[in-house]
Chain A
Amino acid sequence: MKNKILLLAAFMTVLSFTACDDKLDLLPHQSLDESVALNSDANVKTVLNGAYDAFSDDNFLGADVLRNAELQGGDGEVIWVGTFVGPREIFNKTMTASNFDAQEMWVNGYNTVNITNNVLSSLAVVNEEDRGAVEGEAKFLRAYAYFELVRTFALPYESGGNNSQLGVPIVLEPTREISDKQNVPRKSVEEGYQQIIADLTSAEGLLPDENEWRASKGAAAGLLARVYLQMGDYANARDAADRVIVLGVNSLMGNYADLFNRDDNSSEDIFAVQVSNQDGTNSMNTYFSIPDFGGRDGDIEILPDHLALYDPADTRLALFFDASGATRSGKWNNQFGNIGLMRLAEMYLIRAECNARLGTATGASALDDYNTVHTRAGLPAANSVSVDDILLERRRELAHEGFKIHDLKRLKLDAGPYAYNAPELVFPIPLREMEANPMLEQNQGY
């Protein structure tokens, strides 16, 4: 009898543990279940911030994408001396399909796209008075991401052509599960640009004139101007740039050097990636700057041929500095500084170039716009100006801000020994992507 009682006691002990079943239902402390992430006005807006965060990843617009454009088109003017293989391959035009930087740009670009798609699919729960701005911002970020992707991973847009060459996959719906539906093929370059223009046109109409550091009406119009310029559609580019200038939200800074290494946006910044010591990485600082300013080892050096573009009196020349045995750009010396992606001077230069090409004077004459930028650099005003003068001014004004390869491509100029449309100047579709998605077609030469 005694033994039976003991056995029963043992059995009870065993059973007592079975009551723990609910202890298997643990939830994470740092993550939120997807079911609640998009269920309220506040949450959708918070997810929109998440889209900005993804957009500003150092592998995307935070801003390896700008670095890559300078390296790929920088022959003779800059030199990559860093140890990282990815940027070296980009600079040498010897990329392989497994290039890490190409992969990360692609992955982070589409991550941005997916978050914007999530926001755009949840507009119904956003308060009506904010809905337009939320929609506009999401579309702006999506368009920006697609624009960088299509002009990097596809052959250039050919003005006047049908542009049936392969662009990038276009995804406009949020991903909720993984199935064969995610194996999306590439669309044509034309379809890519049309999607970008559609998003930006819609965003320009929806966005408010001023919106803190967020995407504004001017940012959408400014990006539209840049997109049209890349397409060689000078009339539309001119008009869009003109709309930004006329909007009057932004104004040129008096001193060129004050534009850079800022913790906040200047009056001239139309759109900038926000970096602080709390959040974000300024990868332009990482590669262009030196350890004293938080950079790596001075991976990118500026060569004399670039410096020769400037008049000795040009205040933009004074921003360069010598350190660690080479000349450096002075634009990226704030480790936690914002990364300007679009500023008003670019709009003046777009409007000037387009007016000069078209023989028009929308908003202002090409000469006036040229001088607006030119004299700000401490130089005397010119009396006449040609398209080439404006393009040269653009090289000086926007140097090392991520324009280089894209300007070479749209102007059909060589990058080193390679023609503007050479396959070596097109990034490979990342190997991991080719392997994950059987519907993708690789670019020539990879």
Chain B
Amino acid sequence: MKQTLLTLLLVFGAAMAFAQTRTIKGKILDAGSGEPLIGATILAKGTSAGTISDVDGNYSLSLPSGANTLVVSFTGYATLEVAVGASNVVDITMATDQVSLSEVVVVGYGTQIKSTLTGNIAKLDGDKLKDLPIVSMEQGIQGKTAGVFVESVNGKPGGAVRVRIRGAASITASNQPLYIVDGIPISVDAQNSSGASLNPLADLNPNDIESVEILKDASAGAIYGSRAANGVVLITTKTGRSGKTYIEANFQTGTSQPTGKREFLDRDEYTQLFLRSAEGAARYEYALDPDAWGGNEQDAIDWYTEYVKGRLNRYSGPDVTDYTTTNTNTNWQDQLFADKPVSTQASLSASGGNERTKYYAAAAWNRQEGVLKGNNFERMSARLNLDQQATERINFGVNMSLARTFTDQVSDDNAFSTPMQLVALSPLTPMRDEDGVLYDRPTTTYYNGLIDMEEANRDVTTFRSLANGYARWKLMDGLLLNGELGTDVWTLRDNAFYGSRTDAGNASNGFGSSVYAQTVNLTPKAFLNYDKSFGVHNLGLTLGTEYQHSRTDRTIVEGGEFPVDDLKTLASAANITLGSSTITEFSFLSYFARANYDFDRKYLLSASARIDGSSRFGSNSRYGFFPSISAGWVLSEEDFLVDNSLISFLKLRASYGKTGNAAIGNFRHLGLYDAAAYGGQSGLSPSQIPNPDLEWEKTAQTDFGIDFGMFNNRLSGEIDYYIKNTTDLLLDVPVPSTSGFRTQTQNVGEVENKGWEFVLNSNNLVGDFKWNTSFNIAINKNNVVSLSEGQDLIDDGNTNVVKVGESIGAFYGAEYAGVDPANGDAIWYKNGEGTGRETTNDYAEAEFVVIGNPNPDFIGGITNSFSWKGLSLDIMFQGVYGNEIYKDGDRFMACQGCWFDNQTTDQLDHWNQPGDVVSVPEPRFWYQNGDQTRNSRYIADGSYLRLKTLTIGYELPKSVLERLGISRTRLYVIGQNLLTFTKYDGWDPEVSSDAFTNNIVSGVDFYSAPQPKVIAFGISVGF
């Protein structure tokens, strides 16, 4: 086996050159227990030579000439620098340390020592993302970094994940952070057309990630200029280290189930409710216009009852003339969830090299079956990161990955065909006829989505290659010239076919659609790094330029009239109904600079700036300037604290800077006409009103922070306070549509985000039995300060609006006052001037007010890690508090029988007779009674606390392993979303419909798939 793997490595091109001058050997030991430490990293300082300690804690390192210091690091231990004397044997004892203050963090266009940072950068080690049953890396960040809100909008694998760093600042432009993978700003705009938008970051294997650095404040972000306002996520993939080859194989498999289910009516409850609803409607309608019924109320009741019974018969089956003669009692909810869906991931990686060549190579396969039937995700990926020291002064290399993802998509939440909408069907309705054929309308109330599962497919395949080639040239001592070319080539194929019985295909004997999209993103850059110490003066300079060009080509063909359902490609379509190709592109040209200075690691000063030009901006304002300045003071280095036994580290820092947001669509500043065909002839019509002054959004951010360590850094933490003021919002300002236009993109309005972040890490117990706690909590207050002149509200007719003085996306509507006990009417607070808490049964009379906020007041997470000998237990809780959810789907499934959708069981507690004090109004089939669209009745508390992950691991003892020639074996069980504590009575409180969610609309639950509750077993073996 080992032989084979070694051969494999040769294929990867690892050259085996030996040119060492001196070999240092030794043992790495834990200071507390004296046990050997396995996997500690030993680097020769100032060089790229390094190795890892083996199963006995032994290491052997070829020390290049000139190097005389070893840097030893290991997760959970303080990094040490050890001078090498005359001896060739250097044993090293390491002490545990939760925060490594000498830790190196990745910053824009360089790296920096954490203790000298003046900005706010949250770092997450790759091992925190490893082996999680997730699809994309953002899901692994959730709850682990302060101030970073992460939400999988829905439980569909590969679906969109919303990330908000320090709150949402933009109403029209994107609020997603800028993602940089190994220096490449990657494309994150979804290209699939079937179903809801998929997550482009799913193309990246989380297990390949070495570290994630999240740049939160302006000091850290400003070097990314016009795209840094939402924060920047720097993803660095794993690199090889010279020394012994380390091979690791991982396998994990598990099963999942939905985190929640809802209770729906059975057949008896269903018929009972709808007959009552018929009566309610009849009485209501009769009271409106008795003359229409000839003054006879019973006539109205009879008519409605007959109408409802007619429907109940119809839903009971095609030949049923009396529904009471059947006993069908279908639980449609049980039909939509997959039966024990399996998730499996397997990977093989190798890293190593010599002091000239280093590599990390990995191949991985990940398949996740979703909780919904027919909804699966699969990824195959490979990565090779290679670095070659060509001469003493020049090294070059490439970080490249190839990934293929495949998604069995389902419709987005707002489609009859989406599995979740099966719950609307009547329990009276049987699933299949005698021949096993699924029933459809008119037997089913709506289209039977199970037909889609059998006869439709939406196959989304992506191929993505991320490659960054670089060369570094050491021009002189401390001065490094970097040249890089980043490419992100992303191809997507979305083939959908809907058979002749599906709702999309039944009018045209099948319907097919094929999308081919390709985004090519090129980013050449060149920059100089200068790092030099002059006694106690340390200087770091960065100066560079970058150009980015991105182009997306997209082709779509649609057609119908297929001879048989077995022929699913468009070659068989007799009628091509759509063929189109489009191209869009954008470019950025940028210059950036940064200067860091510190005096004796005590007084820190940093300034950076970027000039960004973009094709997206108007001719009058093509270039923007984004400066930042920051300062820090390491008090613990001062004489009065240096020997303090309580405080081991204390730093104050402050930063201020300006960043921008350029993530609007392309060409928004131009006055445009678009093609508009009519009657078989081409046409042109105005599509956009120009704005030559259009520019980026500007965010000015101030941050004050304290970093501290106590009790020899056993307790450490960070506290930050920030104010982010975003002005000149890129706003699609509603204009009077009598102009022929709906909106004009303008720079107006202001949004403020301010908040606190707290991070606390503690080594509660050290020694044999270890217990570490990491805790973070963040409070963010989002406030719309102003919109365009005279504008108080952006209301697109959705439940979420933008209103001055409120959070972006505040829920807005009539305030539900419950049920009038006298007559069963839904009543509303008038909320008008002078009518305040007066109620009315006329929805139209109720003034709209803010009825909720989808943005949490605070978010947080806590991880407790326990270990004893080879056993480990990690418990991670994550939660959000203070947000509301709008239960949009409840307008149909919890409307006390307003139409024939099956209802949740709580609707049985409806008003029945005068005097009833209840919260569900009288059922009035077909008449709206409290189920109006924008309505606080369907607002619910969305707070939750969740046992996000629970991992129990066991490291096999080395005595067993040695005999097998294995250096390390870990067995583990991992659970995800095992427990959720919430008052929310929908499927799952982590929700934001994938059909509607945008900058303004969020926190809407509309037949959204619940998150998966996963239990998986895994094994990891290292050679």
Binding site for B on A (CB under 8 A): 3, 6-7, 10, 13-14, 17-18, 20-21, 23-35, 37, 43, 46-54, 56, 76, 81, 83, 85, 88, 92, 94, 96, 98, 100, 103, 106-107, 110-111, 113-115, 117-118, 169, 171, 174-178, 182-184, 212-214, 274, 276-280, 291-295, 297-298, 323-325, 335, 416-417, 430-433, 435-438, 440, 445-446
B954 in contact (CB, < 8 A): no
If A24-B613, A47-B673, A110-B740 touch, does A34 touch B622 (CB 8 Å cutoff)?
no
Residues in A with CB closer than 8 Å to B473 are: 6
Complex alpha-carbon distance, A333 and B556, angstroms:
27
By Cβ-Cβ distance, the 10 closest A-B pairs, closest first, are: A114-B740, A49-B683, A50-B685, A294-B507, A34-B671, A50-B683, A437-B736, A324-B442, A53-B678, A31-B672
Q: Which of chain A's residues have a CB closer than 8 A to the CB of B1006?
A: none
Taking A21-B589, A34-B690, A436-B734 as contacts, is the C-beta distance between A175 and B678 under 8 angstroms?
no
Q: Measured between C-beta atoms, what is the minimum distance from A34 to chain B in Å?
A: 4
Beta-carbon nearest neighbor of B476 in chain A: A3
Q: How far is the CB of B416 from chain A (nearest CB, A)?
A: 8
Residues of A within 8 A of B578 (CB): 278
> Could you tell me if A34 and B683 are in contact, using CB atoms closer than 8 angstroms?
no
Inter-subunit contact A14/B526 (CB<8 Å): yes
Contact of A436 among B506, B737, B797, B899 (CB under 8 A): B737
B504 nearest CB neighbor, chain A only: A291
Is A297 a contact partner of B441 (Cβ separation < 8 A)?
yes
Contacting residues, chain B, for A114 (C-beta < 8 A): 686, 739-741
Within 827-867 of B, Cβ neighbours of A (below 8 Å) are at 843-844
Within 8 A of A (CB), among B927-957: 927-928, 933-934
How far is it, in angstroms, between the C-alpha of A3 and the C-alpha of B446 when the chains are bound?
A: 76
B480 to chain A: closest residue by CB: A10
Contacts of B744 in A (CB 8 A): 178
Closest B-chain residue to A56, C-beta based? B678
Q: Which residues of B contact A21 (CB under 8 A)?
A: 589, 613
10 new A-B contacts at CB < 8 Å, known A10-B526, A169-B736: A14-B545, A17-B526, A24-B589, A33-B673, A37-B684, A47-B685, A85-B933, A175-B689, A278-B578, A436-B737
Which chain B residues (574-617) contact chain A, with CB distance < 8 Å? 575, 577-578, 582-587, 589, 613-615
Which B residues, 629 to 688, have Cβ-Cβ distances below 8 Å to chain A? Answer: 666-667, 670-688
Interface hub of A6, A24, A49, A111 (most chain B Cβ within 10 A): A24
B777 contacts across to A, CB distance below 8 A: none
Give the Cβ gap from B438 to chain A, nearest Cβ, in Å.
14
* B289 touches A (CB below 8 Å): yes
Docked pose: A88 CA to B895 CA in angstroms: 15
Distance A96 CA – B847 CA, assembled complex (angstroms): 11
Residues of A within 8 Å of B733, CB to CB, are 178
Determine if A118 and B686 form an interchain contact, defined as CB atoms under 8 angstroms apart: yes
Task: Return A26 CB to nearest CB of chain B, in Å.
Answer: 4
Neighbouring A residues of B680 by C-beta, 8 Å: 274, 276, 278-279
* B304 is an interface residue with CB less than 8 A from chain A: no
Minimum CB distance partner of B502 in chain A: A291
B735 at the interface (CB under 8 A from A): yes
Closest-CB distance, B119 to chain A (whole angstroms): 25
Enumerate chain A residues within 8 angstroms of B737, measured Cβ to Cβ.
Answer: 106-107, 110-111, 430, 432-433, 436
**In the complex, A216→B839 CA distance in Å?**
56
Question: Do the beta carbons of A98 and B582 come within 8 Å of each other?
Answer: no
Partner of A291, one of B506, B582, B622, B678: B506
Out of B475, B577, B682, name the residue touching A6 (CB < 8 Å).
Answer: B475
Whether the Cβ atoms of B679 and A52 lie closer than 8 Å is yes
Docked complex Cα distance between A294 and B416 (Å): 15
User: Taking A10-B481, A435-B734 as contacts, is the C-beta distance between A26 and B615 under 8 angstroms?
Assistant: yes
Among residues of A, the one whose C-beta sits closest to the C-beta of B901 is A83
Please indicate the chain B residues that have their CB under 8 angstroms from the CB of A46 in the complex: 682-684
Interchain nearest-CB distance for B850 vs A (Å):
15
CA distance A152 to B928 in the complex (A): 24
> Whole-angstrom distance between the alpha carbons of A33 and B667 in the complex?
10
Cα-based distance from A276 to B679 in the complex (angstroms): 8
A-B contact pairs, 28 of them (CB 8 A): A6-B481, A14-B544, A20-B589, A26-B615, A28-B670, A31-B672, A33-B671, A34-B671, A47-B683, A50-B685, A52-B678, A81-B899, A92-B928, A94-B844, A106-B737, A107-B742, A114-B741, A171-B739, A178-B744, A182-B739, A214-B679, A294-B507, A295-B507, A430-B737, A431-B797, A435-B795, A437-B736, A446-B844
Q: Which residues of chain B come closer than 8 Å to A76, judged between CB atoms?
A: 292
Task: Name the residue of chain B whose CB is nearest to the CB of A85.
Answer: B933
* Other-chain residue from B508, B622, B678 in contact with A49 (beta carbon distance below 8 A): B678
Q: Is the CB of B683 within 8 A of A435?
A: no
CB distance from B858 to the nearest CB of A (A): 32
Which of B547, B667, B690 makes the CB contact (< 8 A) with A20?
Answer: B547
Query: How distant is the Cα of A141 from the Cα of B546 in the complex, in angstroms?
Result: 51
A171: chain B residues within 8 A (beta carbon): 738-739
Query: Closest residue to A439 on the B side, CB-wise?
Result: B736
Question: Which of B614, B683, B795 gathers the greatest number of chain A CB atoms within 10 Å?
Answer: B683
Whether, in the assembled complex, B793 has its beta carbon less than 8 Å from a beta carbon of chain A, the answer is yes
The SS class assigned to the B binding surface is mixed
Contact at A94–B738, with CB atoms within 8 Å? no
- A110 to B736: give the CA distance in the assembly, Å: 10
Please, how many angstroms separate the alpha-carbon atoms of A322 and B966 in the complex? 74
Given contacts A115-B686, A294-B507, contact A49 B613 (CB under 8 A): no
Complex-state Cα separation, A103 to B311, whole angstroms: 33
Closest A residue, CB atoms, query B813: A98
Question: How many Å from the CB of B714 to the closest CB on chain A?
Answer: 46
Q: Could you tell me the distance in whole angstroms from the C-beta of A170 to the nearest C-beta in chain B? A: 9
Known: A297-B446, A431-B797. A31 touches B687 (CB 8 A): yes
- Greatest chain B CB density within 10 A among A31, A110, A417 is at A31
- A29, A34, A43: the one contacting B686 at CB < 8 Å is A34
A294 touches B508 (CB 8 A): yes
A21 to B588, CA, bound (A): 9
Contact of A34 among B613, B672, B927 (CB under 8 A): B672
B32 within 8 A of A: no
B301: CB under 8 A from chain A? no
Q: Which residues of A contact B672 (CB under 8 A)?
A: 28, 31-34
Query: Closest CB of chain B to A107's CB: distance in Å?
Result: 4
Closest Cβ of chain B to A332, distance in Å, is 13
- Distance in angstroms from A369 CB to nearest chain B CB is 31
- Min C-beta distance of A154 to chain B, whole Å: 14
Contact among A13, A20, A25, A52 for B526, CB-based, below 8 A = A13
Which of A33, A85, A277, A335 has the most chain B CB atoms closer than 10 A to its own CB? Answer: A277
Task: Enumerate chain B residues within 8 angstroms of A13, measured Cβ to Cβ.
Answer: 481, 483, 526
Q: Which residues of B contact A103 (CB under 8 A)?
A: 797
On chain A, the residues within 8 Å of B685 by CB distance are 47, 50-51, 53-54, 111, 115
**Which B residue sits closest to A55, measured CB to CB?**
B678
Q: Are B678 and A30 in contact (CB under 8 A)?
A: no
In whole Å, how far is A172's beta carbon from the nearest beta carbon of chain B?
Answer: 11
Question: Min CB distance, B815 to chain A, in Å?
Answer: 15
> CA–CA, A145 to B12, complex, Å?
69
Name which residue of chain B comes closest to A417, CB basis: B289
Q: How far is the CA of A345 from the CA of B508 in the complex (A)?
A: 32
- A417→B287 CA distance, assembly (Å): 11
Contact in complex: B676, A54 (CB < 8 Å): yes
* Interface 1/0 per residue, B858-896 and A, CB below 8 Å: 000000000000000000000000000000000010000
Q: A24-B589, A274-B679, A297-B447 are in contact. Are A432 and B796 (CB under 8 A)?
A: yes
Q: How far, in Å, is A426 (CB) from chain B's closest CB?
A: 13
A280 / chain B contacts, CB cutoff of 8 Å: 678
**For chain B residues 139-156, which have a beta carbon within 8 Å of chain A?**
none
**Is A53 in contact with B615, judged by CB distance below 8 angstroms?**
no
CA distance A292 to B501 in the complex (A): 9
Q: Considering residues A56, A437, A440, which has the most beta carbons from chain B within 10 angstroms of its beta carbon?
A: A437
- Name B524's closest neighbour in chain A (CB-CB): A17
CB nearest neighbor in A for B931: A85
B86 in contact (CB, < 8 A) = no
How many angstroms between the C-alpha atoms of A280 and B892 in the bound complex?
31
